[in-house]
Amino acid sequence: MKKIITTCLILMTVSFSASAQDADALVKKIKTKLEQVNNYIAEGKMKTDVAFIKAPIGKVKIYYQKPNKLKLVKDKGISILPKGGVSINASSVIGLTNYTAIDAGEQLLNGTKVKVIKLLPLDEASDIVITTLYIDEVQLLIKKSATTTKENGSFEMEMYYGNYANLGLPDKMVFSFNVKDYKMPKGVTLDFDDDMKPEEKQKLKKKKGRVEFIYSSYIINKGIDPAIFKS
């Protein structure tokens, strides 16, 4: 009996190790695909949907330089973005270099079968606690990511692809976050109605905020003036 239990434990260990290797290999394939993009300039529209913030739809231009430089220029209104802004870029979703990848099975996402992989940072100083990726294995595309951080709550990104799927760049990206846990950027004020009761304000804070990017064009690997990121 003891021998059977030992054998089962060995088989389980081998199976888990193989599964972890497969998950890590898939993440590396995604990284390799995204690394084709050294820089880009994306243009499109940005829509902010937060219950207590008035922000009109505006044109937006995003500058990205590998590995982690990103700047967003919006023609009007305010921007509600993750801390540092970099998380709205697809490659930053798997920007961790020291992590453990865990295969969490498969599920359907918007009618597409996706592989679910959890990334656990091994660096104790990392602000990220865990990131869950929902990956289309056939096209090697991240369809969705969910990230929990120590300092800035939790947020999700959903990516929709079209013309630039071969480079892993989305035509549309939706960023959503838990308002009550989110640290608002400097200069952003909460625009509650003056006659709103405290409990009503708290109720609004429990709702999810949402920022939607719809890209109309990309200029890819044509170089970007370094001064763009200094201003």
- Tens digits of per-residue pLDDT, 130-173? 999 999 999 999 999 999 888 777 889 999 999 999 999 999 99
The domains found in the chain, sorted by start residue, are: 2-229 (2.50.20)
3-class SS at 49? strand
What are the 10-residue block averages of pLDDT along the chain, 231 residues in total?
47 45 90 93 87 71 88 69 58 81 94 94 87 95 91 86 94 84 52 50 63 94 91 67
Q: How far is CA 175 from the centre of its chain?
A: 7
Query: In angstroms, rounded to a whole number, what is the distance separating the alpha carbons of residues 89 and 39?
Result: 11
Tens of pLDDT, residue by residue over 114-134, are: 999 999 999 888 888 899 999
Q: For the whole model, what pTM was predicted?
A: 0.79
The residues that bridge with 216 in the sheet, in sequence order, are none
Q: How far is CA 165 from the centre of its chain?
A: 16
Supply angle C-alpha 61, 56, 40, rounded to 5.
10
- The answer to whether 162 and 50 are in contact (CB under 8 A) is no
Q: Mention every residue, 6+ apart, whose C-beta is less than 8 A from residue 60.
A: 43, 44, 45, 46, 72, 73, 74, 75, 213
Maximum separation of any 2 CA atoms in the chain, in Å: 72
